[in-house]
Structure 1
Amino acid sequence: NHIFVLDDCLELLERIDGGNQDDEDMDKEQLDLVRHAIEQLSPQRRKIFSLKISGKYSNQEIADKLNLSVNTIKFQYSQSLKQIKEIVRKCAISLLI
């Protein structure tokens, strides 16, 4: 049953990254896994990630809101995605073992 968990979770991250998060369409287990990964982010990265995936703010607006540079927002967001993907991979692989 967990053979496709890794692919499903990575697809889920892509959907979240694209701003198309729809809780009703997501498998609860996958959503919990991604939420767990997001909780592992530092407070600043979690804030940037949350603002970014809400789809309500541009990078410039987030930078202004948090008093950071746009480049910092872009870098922290990309690093957040990498960190979340890595956590999801590790969790999914442990489910397979």
Structure 2
Amino acid sequence: MYLKIDERIFRELFHTYYDRLYTGFYKKTGSYEQAQDLTQQTFIKFWRYRDSYNPELSVEIQLFRKGKLVFIDWLRKESKERQMIDSLQQQEKIPVEELSADLKDSLNQAIDQLSPMRKEVFNLAYIEGYSHKEIAEKLNVSVRTVETHVYKSVQQLRKILALIFIMLHL
């Protein structure tokens, strides 16, 4: 037997517990945006699995358990991204001047496919040699935002360059 949560009950739960969940996530992350995202994810997942809750446990306990699981998932993802970013930062940067002409052309083509923000962050970090902190100050964004753009840019460039490399060598 499962607890049945309809839209009316869910709305009440949302209004009753949103602030508590949000405050808890904010205290743990230190970020308004991240706290908001985690709170929304918690309610989305709670709604998605609304037909599988135990009627013997309070709805509050089950909602906060879902929030805990959402937070643990976020920490795991955050940890993986942080490790990748740290690994990228430790890799030796190869000066653009040392690249072959074909590779330079391929790299420029790939860079042109990045979004404007990622392209700017990538150029500042890898072409002009700015630190993440300097880029953050220059663009008026957080260091974490810069790290994310660098990570995602490199990820996207790897995919694009892999395709270009395959096409060149067919």
Specify the TM-score bucket, using the shorter chain as the normaliser. Answer: 0.7 to 0.9
2:100 counterpart of 1:33: no
Percentage of matched positions with identical amino acids? 34
Partner residue in 2 for 1:82: 155
1:58 maps to a residue whose letter is S
1:28 and 1:73 map into 2 onto residues whose CA distance is: 29
Deviation at 1:94, TM superposition (A): 1.5
Distance (whole Å) between structure 2 residues aligned to residue 18 and residue 31 of structure 1: 18
Deviation track 1:23-61 (CA, whole Å, cap 9, x = no partner) reads: 2x3211111001110111111001101111121x22111
Q: 2:75 matched to which residue of 1?
A: none
Partner of 2:131 in structure 1? 58
- Unaligned 5+ segments in structure 2 are 1-87
> Is 2:117 the partner of 1:44?
yes
Aligned partners of 2:169 and 2:96: how far apart in 1?
26
- Tell me the C-alpha RMSD between the 2 structures: 1.8
Length, aligned pairs only: 80
Give the aligned residue type for 2:121. I
> After the TM superposition, which residues 17-28 of structure 1 pair with which residues of structure 2 at under 5 Å, given as runs?
18-23=92-97, 25-28=98-101
Moved over 2 A (4+): 17-20
TM-score, with length taken from structure 1: 0.73
Cα deviation, residue 22, structure 1? 4.1
Does the 8 Å contact 2:96/2:104 carry over to 1?
no
In 2, distance between residues paired with 1:49 and 1:22? 13
Query: Which SS does the other structure have where 1:18 is aligned?
Result: coil
Given candidates 73, 77, 85, the residue that maps to 2:146 is 73
Instruction: Give structure 1 stretches of 5+ with no counterpart.
Output: 1-13
Amino acid at match of 2:147: K
Give, in angstroms, the shift of residue 90 of structure 1: 0.5
2:105 is aligned with what amino acid? Answer: D
- By relative contact order (CA 8 Å, sep 6+), the higher-ranking structure is 1
Q: Distance in 1 between matches of 2:138 and 2:110?
A: 24
Q: Compute the TM-score of the two structures, normalised by the length of structure 2.
A: 0.44
Q: Highest Rg: 1 or 2?
A: 2
